[in-house]
Structure 1
């Protein structure tokens, strides 16, 4: 127990019956049910003209050690940070998928075969085994876990395949020169 602190109430300094505030501090050394100390304060009662004894009894209280609560708070804080990090990772992944799909939709809507071929050549240069053909590469494209190939992109790939791989139309075929036909007749 610490020394008591006596203080005169500032509102009662100019009255005939001054009021004193007495502060008693004590330190709890063990958790559980504690009983406040009973105070016996002797004083002089002017009405009776005799000394009296004032008894202050405040009952009991329950004290607990706050350290386990601090540990629980720390565990809760760490758990909240882990959840926040997981949520941030999911959000970043979702935004990445959205940006990827948006990029490819823009390429498909614009019919930008240059951008399509640039991306294909980039994967081909990296040595991606699925990039051997344009269609095989397009089937392997993914944004997140979802396949990327959709109708507009499929149409762009089909047009590019026809442009690159389709046989030349008969009207556009070049006739062989006269020297080549003569050589073919001599060989054949």
Structure 2
């Protein structure tokens, strides 16, 4: 990421640019130079909007005990969700559990530079984006309503939680937030 430049993106002057960043920024929290470089490139390409999707959990503490407790709540909810939603899908469940295992190992068993994924909550991202002159754009009430309608279409949808946190949307399971989706623009 540190080597990406605006020129590599080949954006025309009259082109509208949207940046979609799903689960990518958390991989650079432990490498601030990469994150700063990427944000500089994003600012220079002047996107109309930037959509950020991240795990909404504070798992970046230097204290093992705090990380462990936060991870315990998050991954307990993840495993409950997987067990409920994929109980008859053994192969899919095992694949998803393997991904969760890697996340747990990264949080609990790795220290320093070995801990490559550093999930932080939406409040941390808000402070970070403010440094770049970015403002959060809210989602409409109708989009939240529609998301809830879609969740209800699934057998286990009654357990999912879709809430507004300020101007972002948080998606969770039985009240435990999993993900935040937020929209940003540069001033």
TM-score by length of 1: 0.24
Higher normalized helix content (fraction of residues) = 1
| Structure whose alpha-carbon radius of gyration is higher | 1
Higher RCO, 1 vs 2 (CA within 8 Å, ≥6 residues apart)? 2
